[in-house]
Amino acid sequence: MLTLTHRYRIYPNTTQEQQLIEWMELCRGAYNYALREIKDWCDSRKCLVDRCSLEKEYILPAEVKFPGEIQQLNNLPRAKKEFPRLGEVPSQVLQQAIKQLHKGWE
């Protein structure tokens, strides 16, 4: 089976370039926030509760589930209300950033 791919070159003007840079910064922020949620969950399960230092480890309640891809994708509309600048970025772009995070995490 032969798979063909196409490569397209874009030449944005300065305003388009600035908008793309802003979108990348917002996607980076969303990616890093989602990664921090995952790392906090993992760090809270590293040691036994009676042996964790309350000063150094971040402890989440035991009933909190792993922040999976679907859960984080479903949280994006809520995040857009809390952080209006996320509304500037198309939703598919933010969703793709979260999907790439989970693909890399696996």
CA within 13 Å, CB half, 28:
6
- Contact assessment for residue 59 and residue 44, using Cβ atoms and an 8 Å cutoff: yes
Model confidence, pTM: 0.80
State the sign of the Cα–Cα–Cα–Cα dihedral 44, 82, 91, 85.
Answer: negative
pLDDT tens readout for residues 52-73: 555 555 667 777 888 999 999 9
- Distances, alpha carbon 51 to alpha carbons 54, 59, 63, 66, 82, in Å: 9, 12, 19, 22, 36
- The confidence band for 44, taking pLDDT boundaries of 50, 70 and 90, is confident
Q: Say which range, 21-25, 38-42, 47-51, has the weakest mean pLDDT.
A: 47-51
**Lookup: tokens for 79:** 């995040």
pLDDT tens readout for residues 72-90: 999 999 999 999 999 999 9
Distance CA 52, CA 56 (A): 8
**Lookup: tokens for 72:** 């984080």
